[in-house]
């Protein structure tokens, strides 16, 4: 049970993967309870829906390349942007991050698996279920939900064809199932982090990714039930005819906005916090320096959790909220810049004077950081009430959050996928294809989303399929950027598949990184560390310090090399 007793056995024992793995593809299509299988299931499902959501986006950009509405019907266009937003959030970015959580958290903290493996598998399998429900809404009479991804009443309460099963009802059902799945996941991640850490791994020795994942999942636990409560009331209004949000029955449509944004603004931090974690893991590895200000970077995550719960009204500045609310929420929103700023400066200080190794993963992390800083600047602009009222519902807002969610979050996810690809597949990726992917993504992101800022300032409203010809110039550029982003997926998928099938065999620690996951064979066995969980004796990121992370580190590394 103690690690010292197991050292000899560990040296003798060759790491043996799951029977039949990694060539056993069938396990990815079963109710498998191994967190590493579930992680890959999440990521593969999410990438499929990234293609679906991206296809919808490209149809929209095809429509917007000319001022006239000539490609699709206006009602179809309404369905396109609603479904694009819903798919990208609930079926791409949340699942892909939960995939990373599943792969990384148990390995990083030295746990054999998640605390509740069956609950974990059930949470994953809900994703394809509500994915199918959401896709099915394209087939029902009246088409899919068309009231925007936020489904504000009274627009969302209109049911012109009068069918009980309509796009909006299916949308609410899918979002509710997504919420249940996320809560199941969050209970699991938080319990695992709190109770299953390796001996010696105190909270203050935990890798930053686990800190950020813990913070993000705490937000899920606090915020999601509020959205669920609000969505239940919306469903009752739509199906039963109650008047929670119907003004004619004494209801209050703005109440829904409070419920929705109480969760959906913190949801942005659920998305970006793990990406902060990825940045904090990658920069020390590829700069060969310890992370600057570890306790502050870790603590800033918790501060962000606290602040994220008291900023939601900034989405509602023009919704007829009282002036004191606007003032108060403007201040709290701007305060968010303090903990985020701490993190950005910590990363810059980590990079400063480092010996940078610019492989694909590092390029994506640097590109993501660049885009995040840009999005942070426009975020502060939007937090200011007068600016927000001016650009409300324009492309400025669309540009801002696409810089966050694509420019920073998705690029951070790409960075993570490349960085840990050798660990979990046992194969190296092709650096050339990876760099091509980065180049296309970085140029495409900025071509696509930068023009939205001048468009918004000029006054082009979002969610329209036709516009004044004076907006044409920037729209053409944005559309070209969108098609470039579409193309950028090709080298990515090509790289993933071909590297996994025939890429060079990966050593246990290809990047000379420090962390428990790099003390496992690539790919790790079904049960991480099996009986021999190492005892952690120092904090993470000891680059250049020469201090070992765990007891008997030299023996473990030698055994991994021999295997």
Partner 1 sequence: MTISTSHDAAAAPQGHGAAHANHSLTGFIIFLCSESVIFLAFFSGYAVLKLSALQWLPPGVEGLEWRTPLLYTVVLVSSSGTVALAERCLSRGKLWGFRAFWLLSMAMGAVFLYGQAIEWRSLGFGITSGSFGGCFYLLTGFHGLHVLSGILLMALMLQRSFRPANYAAGEQGVIATSLFWHFVDVIWVLLFLLLYAWS
Residues that bind partner 1 (CB under 8 A): 1-2, 109-112, 115-116, 119, 183, 186-188, 190-191, 194-199, 221-226, 228-230, 232-233, 236, 240-244, 249-252, 255, 258-259, 262, 527, 529-531, 533
**Cα–Cα distance for residue pair 286/248, rounded to 1 Å:** 60
CB nearer to partner 1: pick between 223 and 339: 223
Minimum gap (Å) between residue 40 Cβ and partner 1: 22
* Min dist. Cβ of residue 252 to partner 1 (A): 6
Continuous H helices in 252-353: 253-287, 294-308, 323-335, 337-351
Is the CB of 246 or the CB of 463 nearer to partner 1? 246
- Rounded distance between C-alpha atoms, residue 202 and residue 165, angstroms: 51
Residue 523 preceded by cis peptide, ω within 30? yes
Beta partners for residue 427, in sequence order: 505
Name the β-bridge partners of 461: 394
Least distance (Å) between residue 199 CB and partner 1: 6
- Which residue, 252 or 557, has its beta carbon nearer to partner 1? 252
- Nearest CA-CA partner of 516 in 108, 174, 121: 108
- Least Å distance between CB 242 and partner 1? 4
Phi, psi of 505 (to 5 degrees): -70, 135
Query: Residue 550 pairs with which residues in a beta bridge?
Result: 536
DSSP sequence for 488-500: HHHHHHHHHHHHH
Q: What is the DSSP letter of 87?
A: I
Residue 244, classed as helix, strand or coil, is: coil
Q: Is 543 helix (H, G, I), strand (E, B) or coil?
A: coil
Query: Which phi and psi (to 5°) does residue 418 adopt?
Result: -65, -45
The 3-class secondary structure across 369-382, one letter per residue, is: HHHHHHHHHHHHHH
Q: How many CB atoms lie within 10 A of CB 31?
A: 11
Rg (CA), the chain: 24
Nearer to partner 1, 241 or 306 (CB): 241
Beta carbon of residue 243, minimum distance to partner 1 (angstroms, whole number): 5
101, 107, 110, 116 alpha-carbon torsion, rounded to 10°: 50
Shortest gap between Cβ of 5 and partner 1 (angstroms)? Answer: 10
Residue 157 C-alpha from the chain's centroid: 30
Beta bridge partners of 394: 461
Q: How far is the CB of 259 from partner 1 (least distance, A)?
A: 6
CB 171 within 8 A of CB 142: no
1/505 with CB nearer partner 1:
1
Q: What span, in angstroms and rounded, lies between the C-alpha atoms of 114 and 124? A: 13
Phi, psi (5° rounding) for residue 316? -125, 20
Q: Which is nearer to partner 1, 308 or 479 (CB)?
A: 308
Comparing CB distances to partner 1, the nearer of 156 and 371 is 156
- Give me the least distance between CB of 464 and partner 1, in Å please: 32
Contact between 383 and 314 under an 8 Å Cβ cutoff? The reply is yes
Pick 247 or 461: Cβ nearer partner 1 = 247
Return phi, psi of residue 394, to 5°: -110, 180
Q: Which is nearer to partner 1, 119 or 122 (CB)?
A: 119
Minimum gap (Å) between residue 375 Cβ and partner 1:
29
Minimum distance, C-beta of residue 304 to partner 1, in the bound complex (Å): 19
Q: Phi, psi at residue 289, to the nearest 5°?
A: -140, 150
Q: Select 196 or 383, whichever has its Cβ closest to partner 1.
A: 196
- Nearer Cβ to partner 1 (186/556): 186
- Tell me the closest approach of the beta carbon of residue 510 to partner 1, in angstroms: 26
Closer CB to partner 1, residue 201 or residue 559? 201
State in angstroms the smallest separation of the CB of 111 from partner 1.
5
Distance CA 347, CA 263 (A): 28
What DSSP character marks residue 550? B
């Amino acid at each position: 049970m103690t690690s010292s007793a197991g050292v000899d056995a560990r040296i003798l024992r060759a790491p043996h993967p799951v029977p039949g793995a990694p060539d056993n593809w069938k396990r990815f299509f079963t109710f498998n309870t191994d967190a590493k299988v579930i992680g890959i299931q999440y990521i593969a499902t999410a990438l499929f829906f990234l293609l679906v959501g991206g296809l919808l986006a490209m149809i929209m950009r095809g429509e917007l390349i000319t001022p006239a509405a000539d490609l699709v019907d206006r009602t179809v266009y309404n369905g396109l942007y609603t479904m694009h937003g819903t798919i990208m959030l609930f079926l791409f970015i949340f699942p892909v991050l939960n995939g990373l959580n599943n792969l990384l958290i148990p390995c990083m903290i030295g746990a054999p698996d998640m605390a509740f493996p069956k609950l974990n598998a059930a949470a994953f399998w809900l994703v394809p279920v509500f994915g199918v429900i959401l896709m099915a809404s394209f087939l029902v009479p009246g088409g899919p939900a068309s009231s925007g991804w936020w489904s504000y009443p009274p627009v969302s309460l209109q049911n012109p064809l009068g069918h009980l099963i309509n796009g909006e009802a299916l949308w609410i059902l899918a979002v509710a199932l997504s919420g249940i799945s996320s809560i199941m996941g969050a209970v699991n991640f938080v319990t695992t982090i709190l109770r299953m850490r390796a001996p010696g791994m105190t909270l203050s020795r935990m890798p930053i990714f686990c800190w950020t994942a813990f913070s993000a999942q705490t937000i899920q636990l606090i915020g999601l039930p509020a959205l669920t409560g609000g969505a239940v009331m919306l469903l009752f209004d739509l199906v039963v005819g109650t008047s929670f949000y119907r003004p004619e029955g004494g209801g209050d449509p703005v109440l829904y906005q409070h419920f929705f944004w109480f969760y959906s603004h913190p949801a942005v931090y659920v998305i970006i916090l793990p990406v902060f974690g990825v940045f904090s893991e990658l920069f020390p590895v590829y700069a060969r320096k310890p992370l600057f200000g570890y306790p502050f970077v870790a603590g800033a995550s918790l501060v962000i959790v606290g602040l994220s719960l008291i900023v939601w009204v900034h989405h509602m500045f023009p919704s007829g909220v009282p002036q004191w609310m606007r003032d108060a929420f403007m201040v709290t929103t701007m305060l968010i810049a303090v903990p985020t700023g701490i993190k950005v400066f910590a990363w810059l200080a980590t990079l400063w004077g480092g010996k940078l190794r610019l492989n694909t993963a590092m390029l994506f992390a640097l590109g993501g950081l660049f885009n995040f800083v840009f999005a942070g600047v426009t975020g502060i602009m939007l937090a200011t009430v007068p600016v927000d009222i001016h650009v409300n519902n324009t492309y400025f807002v669309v540009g801002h959050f696409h810089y966050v969610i694509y420019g920073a979050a998705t690029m951070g996810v790409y960075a993570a996928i490349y960085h840990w690809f050798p660990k979990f597949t046992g194969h190296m990726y092709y650096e050339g294809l990876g760099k091509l992917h980065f180049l296309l993504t970085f140029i495409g992101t900025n071509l696509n989303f930068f023009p939205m800022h001048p468009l918004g300032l000029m006054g082009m409203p979002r969610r329209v399929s036709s516009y004044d010809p004076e907006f044409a110039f920037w729209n053409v550029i944005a559309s070209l950027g969108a098609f470039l982003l579409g193309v950028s997926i090709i080298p990515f998928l090509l790289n993933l598949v071909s590297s996994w099938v025939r890429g060079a065999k990966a050593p246990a620690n290809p990047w000379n990184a420090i962390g428990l996951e790099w003390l496992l064979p690539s790919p790790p066995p079904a049960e991480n560390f099996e009986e021999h969980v190492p005892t952690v004796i120092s904090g993470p990121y000891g680059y250049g310090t020469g201090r070992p992370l765990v007891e008997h580190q030299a023996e473990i590394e030698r055994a991994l090399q021999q295997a």
